[in-house]
Amino acid sequence: MFMEDVLPSKKNGALHGKKIFVISADPSIVQAVKDSVASHGAVFFFGMTPPDAIGNVLAKNPDLIVYDEFMPAFNGSTVLSLLKQKRPKDKILYLTRTGVPLRSIDVTAQGVSFSIPRDSNTPQIYNAVKHCLAIASVPRVESPANVN
């Protein structure tokens, strides 16, 4: 399943015209990310399954991919590898399971720009999105405490 949602344009919004693509099977995660960028003028896309989403990421050329680690029947490392193989310069915000240390997968080696817990609140998600869009395309991982 793939959806596109052009959010209300806010010409002075920090995310005006930025394309945000969310890959998550969890509607609450999709909604949380959408809520965090809705009033800032972003163009919002999402895919519920990695095979559909990867094809659409290639077509939509997003400024940022928000990838939810918890995807039933899909291996997070494999999906990240496929994304980075097809789009090596894309910025990725990786949503990790709460309480699971980042070393559970080597996110830096996978080309992840930044990671936060998947149960982060709307302001935390918005700050992480802004941070990812502002950093250089060289992969980097920091603690969520450094973004607020």
- Most confidently modeled of 31-35, 116-120, 137-141? 31-35
pLDDT at 139: 42
- What would the pLDDT profile of 46-85 be if each residue is shown by its tens digit? 888 777 778 888 888 889 888 887 777 777 777 777 888 8
Q: What is the pTM of this model?
A: 0.75
What's the gap between Cα 37 and its chain centre? 12
What's the pLDDT at 86? 82
pLDDT at 112 over 80: no
Edge to edge, what strands does the sheet with 114-117 contain? Answer: 2-6, 43-47, 19-23, 64-68, 92-96, 114-117
> Quick check: 114 and 136 in contact, CB under 8 A?
no
Q: Can you give the pLDDT at residue 79?
A: 79
For the stretch 72-82, pLDDT in tens is: 777 777 777 78
Q: Could you tell me which CATH number the domain at 2-146 has?
A: 3.40.50.2300
Residue ranges covered by each domain of the chain: 2-146
Look at the alpha carbons of 144, 119, 31, 73 in this order and tell me if their dihedral is positive or negative.
Answer: positive
